[in-house]
Structure 1
């Protein structure tokens, strides 16, 4: 008979065996039900594992946790990016001084235009990729005849004083432009245009006849009628609102500082938190003012400003070497043209002479030599990116062909001078032996001097003699352009966003303030230009411009040389998407809402 101790051990062993059997049945029950173990079953797992098995399982669990941690950290590190954040301040130097930060007058000054473009907004805005797109307006519709433009204003659009932008503000602004008492230089843009308030948020512009370029004029900034209606029109230029403006743009006026003489030395704008589109990231913009581009470049070099509104060609190499800034050079619709005045020099009436000059100018060498390729060779009035730009159209540089043309036309080379003599029909008995000689008039600037000298050298190769006449920019309009006082004119011409060549080549524009500088007249060209500006269908309009350019190329009233770029500098701390083309210098701010200085972390 077993003793008590043995019985106790046997009993304890039986209990343990029964418990073990119960645990095993619970574990094996998983196999029977073919389901995932319950929490109660998982709790029994350590009881069925040996000590070494428990260590193995614990290690495996630990390894899994470490791997998960490493993977999580790696994922966060690999997918963590910097994104723009609100904050930061940018200081830019401008040439000039603000006076009329007012859409009615700002176009007369780059400084005023720069500040007005940030403070005010128009019904439409210019976009480098998409052209003219709605801004204050949420939609634009044009009737089938192209004579009624109807725009609906965004419900979220507000002025900086919190007032909603309404149709009455648009009506007031356009009426003020049309009112001669305001003396706005924009009056011609809205001549014979009626503006009608359809409802509180809808406005229509009614034109007497279709005018395709009209949409570009809808970018003019809108004034708050509630503030400006209290000011007499003749007193508008004296109003404090010209320097302490209230608009609806991405930035609003904060403060300005004057020197002892009363001149504004700095001007600060702050972020418009309630901007109807995405508000800008940069918190504060401060502008400082300098008398000329040279002083601005020096201020940039001395770090008195972080960026520069303009960098001339002569300063671009210096600015490029500045490690703190980035030189940007978007294209500008400014074309430099060599005009022939056939009324002041008899040989210029000979198309052979004009064709020879065209073939003798090495445009590619000119752009490379003078501008280090910071300009683009052009061959026609319609620029890249505009309606009916034709990249296949080009003037061929061919001095031998130019020589052949002149020789066959009777302009022979003088054995004594190497210059070409006038053909016999143009010689006079009083002054025999006269040469083919012209005076080239040009604006007096560093780059224009180099361009003129290059043309002088190129024409000398084919025996045409040039005398260079440089005139200050201030006198070009009154002394040269208005009286058409030139034989050959080297002139940079600023175009608008719309390529309408009417002001430059229609025969009605040959006198006074017209820009047909050569006196060119062609009835077929007149008809094409008249019809093109009334067409809203881009394809039909492009066909008209194609025919126009073919006729112009045939007549050679001018030689198109190159399209300019606009240089300005931004500090490298300012991140921006970049802009490839602008219409006005102020368009460098077209994407200002995307500029940023500060960043924050986020997962991609």
Structure 2
């Protein structure tokens, strides 16, 4: 970045800085204007063809981004596309494809070098059990996730090596789905407890907690009365005190029963506890969006079948870095990793990347893996890279610091008037515009693109 332009702008102000909103670049289009509403929200961003572009100038003269608050609904982006108010939609959620598909609308499917996975936090004691990690992994029906969440549009994944990258083979890109085997693995260290017994034990625990709180309250009152020697409060009979204690306990039991009704899922037939009497409870943390919510709910259902109680925490995407990635506060992280065009696995698995801002999200430390990752960074021979990443893949598959779920695809839509779109594989969504200077449209030349 040019120092004379950005040195006086603090990092937290960069995103909304005028020089960022009205940039000067070297692409086929240049900034024309932006339009805000009364609250300052940008709802329209206009570009115009840059006539001095160093390659062939774009065919399209005006390129307009129109921003909507929602996809669906009468005022949403999908309806605007169907009515011809815009000529494209930047992303089509899988659950809305049937509403987007029309004779005059074309859907473009692109492959992204990214994957969604579960990262087991090896800094949490229970997650250090390979048997537990293996059982959690083996109980997941990835094909069902793909079918129900993405309408089958994607590809299941068995390792961190993506198709087309050094070391990938179909032979190693396999997944085990075996609930019986998963249960047998957990039976070694976690005994089964029926739902009825779990409820009784949980109620007993909560009542003891309540009794402790009541005792603390009574002790505080006794100390207060002792200090207040001048008190004229009349003495209350033992019978009245006991009756009040009984009433409070009955109320506490009612509240605990209501809490347990919400806490306990009727579908789960059994639970698990270890030799210390601790119940097996896993917290999944993920982003607060529809796709991840659907995946997390399916995972919770799968893990109920092996006696694992699951709590799900959803975090707003804008707070994810600060609240999740920086703190590493999770048992299991459901997260999407963008690998990019570079096959380098160093940022995701080397021990030096365990702490934020590193992306070793499992906290995985393996000296043999470190050596291979360091070798890969220095190696330029394609055959040797394949060998290195194949060995790394074997280590990660065997140790299961993560469970790799699926590779999503990226779908966006354009009017059939828009021609010249040829991209099929991109590194990130914005790369779909890499060949925008060759796009053309059989109209007067103005083209709207919805976000």
Q: TM range, normalised to the smaller chain? A: 0.7 to 0.9
1:532 aligns with 2:371: no
> Equivalent residue for 2:285?
441
Q: In 1, are the aligned partners of 2:195 and 2:271 still within 8 Å (CA)?
A: no
The corresponding residue for 1:310 is: 91
CA-to-partner distance for each residue in 1:554-604, whole Å, 9 max, x for gaps? 1101101011222321111112344222112111112223322239xxxxx
Deviation by residue 1:463-507 (Cα, 9 ceiling, x = unmatched): 322222222223322222211111122112222321222111111
Cα gap change, 1:569 to 1:541, in 2 (>3 Å): same
Where in structure 1 are there 5+ consecutive unaligned residues? 1-103, 105-172, 186-233, 600-604
CA contact (8 A) 2:132 2:186 kept: yes
Residues 529 and 299 from structure 1, CA distance in 2 versus in 1: closer, same or farther, beyond 3 angstroms? same
Is the aligned partner of 1:452 residue 2:296?
Answer: yes
Aligned to 1:333: 113
Which of 27, 32, 35 pairs up with 1:249?
27
Secondary structure of the structure 2 residue equivalent to 1:553: helix
Structure 2 residue matching 1:439: 3-state secondary structure:
strand
Instruction: State whether residues 176 and 182 of structure 1, in contact with CA within 8 Å, keep that contact through their aligned partners in structure 2.
Output: no
TM-score by length of 1: 0.55
Query: Counterpart of 2:216?
Result: none
1:444–1:498 distance in 2 versus 1, CA, 3 Å: same
In structure 1, C-alpha distance between the alignment counterparts of 2:7 and 2:270, rounded to whole Å: 55
State the TM-score, normalizing by the size of structure 2. Answer: 0.72
Q: Which residue number in structure 1 is paired with residue 78 of structure 2? A: 297
String of CA shifts for 1:184-223, please: whole Å, max 9, x gaps: 79xxxxxxxxxxxxxxxxxxxxxxxxxxxxxxxxxxxxxx
For residues 528-570 of structure 1, give each alpha carbon's deviation from its aligned partner in whole angstroms, at most 9, with x where no partner exists: 1112112233322232211111111111011010112223211
Structure 1 residue 580 and structure 2 residue 361: aligned? no
Match of 2:240 in 1: none
Distance between the aligned counterparts of 2:14 and 2:436, measured in 1? 33
Write out per-residue CA displacement over residues 386-405 of structure 1, whole angstroms, 9 at most, x where no aligned residue. 23222221222222222333
> What does the per-residue CA deviation read over 1:502-536, in whole Å, with 9 as the maximum and x for residues that have no partner?
11111111123222122111111111111211223
Taking a change above 3 Å as real, the CA distance of residues 303 and 530 of structure 1, as seen in their structure-2 partners, is: same
> Is the contact between residue 310 and residue 568 of structure 1 (CA under 8 Å) also seen in structure 2?
yes
- In the aligned structure 2, how far is the partner of 1:244 from the partner of 1:535? 41
Partners of 1:278 and 1:404 lie apart in 2 by 64
Q: Is the 8 A contact 2:421 2:436 kept in 1?
A: no
Quickly say closer, same or farther: Cα 1:518–1:242, change in 2 above 3 A: closer
| In structure 1, distance between residues paired with 2:29 and 2:356 | 40
Counterpart residue number, 1:561? 405
- CA deviations 1:391-424 (Å, max 9, x no partner) are 22122222222233333x24343355643533xx
Equivalent of 2:322, from 478, 482, 485? 478
Partner of 2:65 in structure 1? 287
Runs ≥4 residues deviating over 6 A:
182-185, 234-237
1:103-128 CA deviation, whole Å, 9 max, x = no partner?
x5xxxxxxxxxxxxxxxxxxxxxxxx
Alignment size in residue pairs: 367
Partner in structure 1 of residue 435 of structure 2: 591
Gaps of 5+ in 2: 197-268, 444-451
Contact 2:133 2:400 in 1 (8 A): yes
The answer to whether the 8 A contact 2:192-2:272 is kept is: yes
Partner of 1:520: helix, strand, or coil?
coil
Using the TM superposition, give the Cα deviation of residue 270 of structure 1 relative to its aligned residue in structure 2, in angstroms: 3.4
Kindly report which structure 2 residues correspond to 1:348-367, keeping only aligned pairs within 5 A, or say none.
Answer: 348-367=127-146
